[in-house]
Chains A and B, each alone.
Chain A
Amino acid sequence: MSSCFHCGDPIPSNLTIESTINGEQRGFCCHGCQAIAEYIEDANLCRYYERREVENINSAQSRIDTDKIFALLDNQDIYNRYVFQEDNRHHIQLSVEGITCSACAWLIEKHLSSLEGVVHVGVNVSSSVASIEWLPDQISIKDVAFALKRIGYASLPYLPGERANSLKQEKKRAIIQLGIAGVGMMQVMMSAVAMYAGDIQGMEDIYRNLLRWTSFFFATPVVFYSASSFFKGAWRDLKTRHFTMDLPVSIGIGLAYFSSVYALLTNGGHVYFDSVTMFTFFLLLGRFLETLARNKEFNDGEDNALQATERKSKNGWEITSVSSLIVGDIIRVKPGETFPVDGYLLNSATQVDESSLTGEYLPVVRNPGDAISAQTVNVDQQVELAVTAAGANTRAAAITRITERAIAEKPKVAIIADAVAHYFVIGVLVTAALTYLGWSYVGNDNAYWIMVSVLVVTCPCALSLATPVALTSATNYLRQVGLLVTRGHTLESLSATNHVVFDKTGTLTQGSFSITQIDVLASSLSEDQVLTIAASLEQHSTHPIAKVFKQFTAMPVNDLRNIIGKGVSGTIDEQLYFLGNKQLAEEAVGHTLSSNVAQGLVLYLCTHQECVARFHLTDQVRKETEKTLKSLRNLGIRVSLLTGDTIGSTKSTFPLEWFDDVEASVSPEGKWEWLKQNSKSHVVMVGDGLNDVPALAGSTTSIAMGSSSDLAKTHSDAILLNSNIALIHKAILKAKKCSRIIKQNLSWALAYNLIMLPAAVAGFVPPWAAAIGMALSSLLVVVNATRLSRDN
């Protein structure tokens, strides 16, 4: 099957939508994608297609109704809130859907800045936010949003929330701290090389002093500004009496720095400015990369974007923002739109896709009076809804809270490491103090310098680098192959995995239907003909099942009617047809149908006289699923399936023998409970929907699919960016290797410390030798860790 040139979705076999793009004939999955590609071609921006890294993300279909939302900006209050106005220039931030790589940013910037009246366009790929400055007397923001839509990007006006702002400030500070530490380290290193050379060749004191003062000058901001977060951590440790690595790191940095200053002023002893700066820089670098990965999936755009809905008022329907809704309001929701708030149905029944809450991917029927949850999708009728809860009181928000609770209960493997560090730190401090006291007691003038040697030798440099460098290296490798690790403990927990739990729909399957078998029951019709009839009946339906038939040619239909919860009917060539479930078919033909049909989802095509055809549908299993499950079990890992679907529909999708155990018809809370009961071991949970969120948070390690809901992503420990589940096997192997390398590193660092410590305590190690030893042992640890970035 070929794939769409624009969005990468598979093109149905008998559908031909083609255009000549950049001199070559290209196929598309729908007219929307074709229009976008042609428009991009016309605007001379074809280079986009050669440059983008990731395909198949930016589909033409979006649930966001851009027109309605930008119509809200006609309201002056809302306009003033979202649009920053200065002189005759207006400025807005748009949260843009579907930005995946630099090519998207290039396309948007290039296209929008070619519009008359647009002054500046800047796109931030990491946060998917475009900031746009324009002259309101020449162009309106609606035109800009429309232009954005024409090249395939839906957008929402957006105001950064508090958390986004504080994260931004934090990141800026971290970059400056890191930059200063880096530059400072380089300068101090240059002086240090000269001084070491001077030690060997001989050097006049006056030059040595110049170099010492220079390195003092550069080391000072590194210690007081860049390393300030370690000192703050150490202070917190002292207050809470729980010691972490921050404390010895601070003591190491502090003592080495101040004894160097003492040596500088008294013109004796050794200066350690080089060790101090290098140590600080590498620790900061590790910390920075870790934070960067962790904050990557924090998406502020969804929460703080302007959302629109239609509210009933005295003068009919008015467009208003979702945030202004209060309990008791009546709103109108079109088919295909997401319900913005909780409420109950007023005027008519509809089908609701509740997959985001329950995991049940088939829409359910909701009648007037039934409750509707926020974040579910209205499938087939325009409905009116009375608001019962908005914002933080909705059910979707409640699930978020369950999740937060689960996170609090999460087993922390890190606690052990913490405890070890705690005693290590105490040990180091006691040893150093005893050494000083001992040597002073016997009257050695060098007691202070011997103590410094002890502290430098035991300084947890190699020890504290041992774990982070290995983790950083493995994390970077996994990100390159498509698994984004977002929490510090992920790799550690992955390496100990002995149980993997999968969600079904959207995780092991693609979450879309396909026809497995067609039974033509009427002799007068061919397979193609029944498909054409079915496609014609489903052509205007938004139900997920209808997508299956979108690929076949449709004919005009009269009297097309949606029969809620059952199917559709319509007249083609003066023959009335029904397409839907068994119940509808039985009603149509007027007698019960034999039930000797294979399990799974079956659609019936009927007339009033007879049943014309049966379509067997199934969710498509990802092609790497079987192999991945097999290789995981070969590693001795227990593989379970946990799904909200019924056991029957699970069986029709894949053989249950692929798993060690299968649990069907489980609710979101049930998934969490199940995990709690069945997991005394290290469990990895792989899932995608909002329904998996509590389970994701409650497992030792959680992996979300790249196509997951944002909530699932924020609460997971790792994200499969390309939804390739084969990577889970790879990641577990990598994590095991990573933990081996960490062990090697730790044993080396410990062995070094254990050998050097007695020597230092005995006064055999001059401080400069301690510093060189420390640098070399750190280097060894770093080089060992880089082995993780190789591909095997």
Chain B
Amino acid sequence: MESLFILVPLATLFVIVAVSIFIWAVRRDQFEDLNHEGERILFEEDDEEFNSSKKSKR
């Protein structure tokens, strides 16, 4: 159980790092558009599929 004295502060450190990254991201305008950014990844995936299927047709 003594390991908690290392693990809990370590976990705390991780959280601090994660929150700092979050704040940095907000300041860099990454949360500016809550409608679009979440969907972007779906679009990019489609692109590759789409391009490769087009190529295979030709």
**Which A residues contact B (CB, under 8 angstroms)?**
44, 47, 51, 101-103, 105-106, 123-127, 168, 172, 175-176, 179-180, 183, 187, 207, 210-211, 214, 217-218, 292
**CB–CB B4/A183 < 8 A:** no
Query: CB distance A172 to B26 under 8 Å?
Result: yes
Q: If A47-B46, A172-B26 touch, does A124 touch B8 (CB 8 Å cutoff)? A: no
Residues in A with CB closer than 8 Å to B35 are 101-102, 125-126
Which 7 A-B residue pairs are closest in the complex by CB-CB distance? A125-B36, A102-B39, A124-B33, A125-B35, A102-B36, A106-B43, A105-B36
**A207 contacts B1, CB within 8 Å?**
yes
Q: How far is the CA of A176 from the CA of B26 in the complex (A)?
A: 7
Q: Give chain B residues whose Cβ lies under 8 Å from the Cβ of A211.
A: 8
Residues in B whose Cβ lies below 8 Å from that of A183: 15, 18-19, 22
With a CB–CB cut-off of 8 A, which chain A residues contact B43?
A: 51, 102-103, 106
* A106 to B4 CA separation, bound complex (whole angstroms): 48
Contacts of B58 in A (CB 8 A): none
- Assess whether B36 is in contact with A175, with CB atoms less than 8 Å apart: no
A124 close to B36 (CB less than 8 A): yes
The complex places the Cα of A415 from the Cα of B7 at a distance, in Å, of 51
Q: Are B19 and A179 in contact (CB under 8 A)?
A: yes
CB distance from B50 to the nearest CB of A (A): 6
A214/B8 in contact, CB under 8 A: yes
Q: Which residue of B lies closest to A46 (CB)?
A: B50
Contacting pair B5 A172 (CB below 8 A): no
* A168 CB contacts on chain B under 8 angstroms: 32
Q: Measured between alpha carbons, how far is A106 from B40 in the docked complex, in Å?
A: 8
| B-chain residues with CB within 8 Å of residue A214 when the two chains form the complex | 8, 12
C-alpha gap A210/B9 in the complex (Å): 10
Q: Which among B8, B26, B27, B33 is the interface contact of A125 at CB below 8 angstroms?
A: B33
In the complex, chain A residues whose CB is within 8 Å of the CB of B31: 172, 175
Answer whether A179 and B26 are a contact pair too, CB < 8 Å, given A124-B33, A187-B15, A210-B8: yes
Given A126-B36, A210-B4, 9 additional A-B pairs, CB 8 A: A51-B43, A102-B36, A123-B36, A124-B33, A125-B33, A172-B26, A175-B31, A187-B15, A214-B12
- Which residues of B6-49 are within 8 A (CB) of A? 8, 12, 15, 18-19, 22-23, 26-27, 31-36, 39-40, 43, 46-47
Distance of A180 Cα from B39 Cα, bound (Å): 24
Contacts of B22 in A (CB 8 A): 176, 179, 183
Distance in Å: Cβ of B52 to nearest Cβ of chain A: 13
In the assembled complex, the CB of A198 is this many whole angstroms from the nearest CB of chain B, namely 12
Q: Residues of A contacting B36 with CB < 8 Å?
A: 102, 105, 123-126
B34: chain A residues within 8 A (beta carbon): 126, 292
- Closest Cβ of chain A: how far from B43's Cβ, in Å? 5
Residue on A nearest B22 in the bound complex, by CB: A179
In the assembly, what is the distance between CA of A207 and CA of B1, in Å? Answer: 9
> Chain B residues with Cβ under 8 A from A103's Cβ?
43
Chain B residue nearest to A203 (CB atoms) is B1
User: Is the CB–CB distance between B19 and A180 below 8 Å?
Assistant: yes
A538 to B8, CA, bound (A): 79
What is the bound-complex CA distance between A210 and B12, given in angstroms? 12
Contacts of A51 in B (CB 8 A): 43, 46
Interchain CA distance A211-B8 in the complex, whole Å: 8
Residue of A nearest to B50 (CB): A47
A–B complex contacts, Cβ < 8 Å, 17 sampled: A47-B47, A47-B50, A102-B39, A123-B36, A124-B32, A124-B33, A126-B34, A168-B32, A172-B31, A179-B19, A179-B23, A183-B19, A187-B12, A207-B4, A214-B12, A217-B12, A218-B12
Chain B: CB-nearest residue to A105: B36
Closest to A296 in B: B35
Complex Cα spacing A265 to B46, Å: 57
Which of B5, B27, B39 has the most C-beta atoms of chain A within 10 angstroms of its own C-beta?
A: B39
Which of A44, A47, A103 has the most CB atoms of chain B within a 10 A radius of its CB?
A47
B5 is contacted by which of A124, A175, A180, A210 (Cβ under 8 Å)?
Answer: A210
CA distance A292 to B43 in the complex (A): 25
**Could you say which residues of chain B place their CB within 8 Å of the CB of A124?**
32-33, 36
Q: Are A176 and B33 in contact (CB under 8 A)?
A: no
Contacts of B33 in A (CB 8 A): 124-127
Cα–Cα distance between A123 and B8 once the two chains are bound (Å)? 42
Taken together as a complex, chains A and B put the C-alpha atoms of A210 and B3 apart, in Å, by 12
Expressed in whole angstroms, the Cα–Cα distance for A218 and B13 within the complex equals 11
Most buried by B among A51, A102, A126, A217: A102
Contacts of B1 in A (CB 8 A): 207
Report how far A177 CA is from B25 CA in the complex, Å: 14
**Bound-state Cα–Cα, A176 to B43, Å:** 27
Nearest chain A residue, comparing its CB with the CB of B54 = A44
With a cutoff of 8 Å between Cβ atoms, the chain B residues found around residue A44 in the complex are 54
Distance in angstroms between the alpha carbons of A350 and B57 in the assembled complex: 57
Docked CA distance A211–B15 (Å): 15
Complex Cα gap A124–B22 (Å): 20
Smallest Cβ distance from B28 to chain A, in angstroms? 10
A168, A179, A180, A210, most chain B CB atoms within 10 A: A179
Complex: A210 Cα to B18 Cα, angstroms:
22
Whether B40 pairs with A102 at a CB distance below 8 angstroms is: yes
A214 vs B14: C-alpha distance in the bound complex, in angstroms? 13
Q: Is the CB of A175 within 8 A of B26?
A: yes
Give chain B residues whose Cβ lies under 8 Å from the Cβ of A218.
12, 15
The minimal Cβ–Cβ distance linking A541 to chain B, given in whole angstroms, is 39
User: Which residues does chain B contribute within 8 Å of A126, judged by CB atoms?
Assistant: 32-36
| A51 nearest in chain B by CB position | B43
Q: Closest approach, in angstroms, between the C-beta of A91 and any C-beta of chain B? A: 13
Closest to B9 in A: A214
Neighbouring B residues of A207 by C-beta, 8 Å: 1, 4
Report how far A103 CA is from B42 CA in the complex, Å: 11
Residues in A whose Cβ lies below 8 Å from that of B19: 179-180, 183
Instruction: List the A residue with the shortest CB-CB distance to B38.
Output: A102
Q: State in angstroms the CA–CA spacing of A180 and B50 once bound together.
A: 39
A25 to chain B, nearest CB (A): 19
Taking a contact as CB atoms under 8 Å apart, the answer to whether B23 and A176 are in contact is yes
* Cα(A211)–Cα(B4), bound, Å: 10
Q: Which residues of A contact B12 (CB under 8 A)?
A: 187, 214, 217-218
Return A358 CB to nearest CB of chain B, in Å: 35
A173, closest chain B residue (CB): B26
B29 to chain A minimum Cβ distance, whole angstroms, is 8
- Please name all residues of chain A whose beta carbon is closer than 8 Å to the beta carbon of B27 when the two chains form the complex: 172
Bound-complex Cα distance A183 to B50 (A): 38
Distance from B41 Cβ to chain A, minimum over Cβ atoms (Å): 11
A763 to chain B, nearest CB (A): 35
In angstroms, Cα B30 to Cα A124, docked, is: 11
Question: How far apart are the CA atoms of A218 and B32 in the complex, in Å?
Answer: 26
The listed residue with most A CB atoms (<10 A of its CB), out of B1, B5, B23, B33, is: B33
A175 to B30, CA, bound (A): 11
**C-alpha spacing A568/B4, complex, angstroms:** 89
List, in ascending order, chain A residues with CB within 8 A of B32's CB: 124, 126, 168
Complex CA distance for A210 and B4, rounded to whole angstroms: 9
Query: In the assembled complex, how far is the CB of residue A617 from the closest CB belonging to chain B, in whole angstroms?
Result: 40
CB distance from B39 to the nearest CB of A (A): 4
